[in-house]
Copies of this chain bind each other. A is one copy, B any other.
């Protein structure tokens, strides 16, 4: 039996809850509050529905030492992801962390070092990689559907609604580029397999409807290896009346084709004409992480990818904060 504990409930702990509900060999034994006013009501409620004997702790350190889990699901306020992950890894606990893995480059260095020293598995919740449409896009690009990638455009657009907690305090939140944009930045790296060489970014809190310093619009321009260039567009301005919470898009322009993910489908134009690709089967990201922990073949987000994309997000945020482009 693989024992799992959840810390905080700010992010996407639900991947683990769903995986545990569908598995006989996974048990979420306990849930704890996050750090600094971050509770765990939502997570504890969801876990208790599957495991009525799950415990609840106020202090996550106490939980880790008492429960000695195999895996910690880390999703306190973003600003504490790195600190909490490091505490877990020092105890030899594998970490499934909300993204961004860290909100400063210094913390990211400490996290990388703690991971190196621990030998445990570490992964971030880049769950959109596992959706049927993005997985189909990745498969097609790998099969050569667009030839050599030359240009990419990624889009994240979310409804804002009324948000509280960390969203009202950039110190706890880390910024919209790392929180929302991290998915888009991950796609660029994941789909192309190419590294970033420079980023130019801008963001703004204007029109955020009373959400303090929350940035609700942002752009990034990336220069990548092999003269590939890419744009990222991020906003929290999707109208409440929109048919979905998000409007995730990715356009991949290659030497011999153009592929587009939009509205949950994948469109391809290349020498074979226009087609809509068949979506892939949905895969639970946490299930892949458990396989990684167990040393089985899997498609988990690697620690290296997690750290690299976090770094890219933080450099983009630095560019937006300082008004200067930032080299990698």
Chain B residue with Cβ nearest A324: B325
A59 proximal to B (CB < 8 A) = no
Complex Cα gap A257–B240 (Å): 9
Known: A157-B253, A202-B229, A253-B217. A151 touches B239 (CB 8 A): no
Query: Do the beta carbons of A239 and B206 come within 8 Å of each other?
Result: no
A79 proximal to B (CB < 8 A) = no
Of A14-22, A99-107, A122-130, A218-226, the one touching chain B: A218-226
A259 vs chain B, min Cβ distance (A): 11
Query: Do the beta carbons of A157 and B242 come within 8 Å of each other?
Result: no
Main secondary structure, interface of A, reads strand
A235 vs chain B, min Cβ distance (A): 5
Interface residue tally for chain A (C-beta within 8 Å): 55
Supply 13 A–B pairs (Cβ within 8 Å), ascending by A: A150-B237, A151-B237, A153-B155, A207-B255, A217-B253, A237-B253, A237-B254, A237-B255, A237-B258, A239-B269, A240-B271, A241-B269, A241-B270
Q: Which 5 residue pairs of A and B lie closest in terms of their CB atoms, listed nearest first?
A: A221-B221, A200-B200, A204-B227, A207-B255, A231-B231
Given contacts A150-B206, A153-B153, 18 further A-B contacts (CB under 8 A): A150-B216, A150-B237, A151-B235, A155-B251, A202-B227, A202-B229, A204-B227, A207-B254, A207-B255, A217-B253, A219-B229, A219-B231, A223-B323, A237-B254, A238-B269, A241-B271, A241-B273, A242-B258
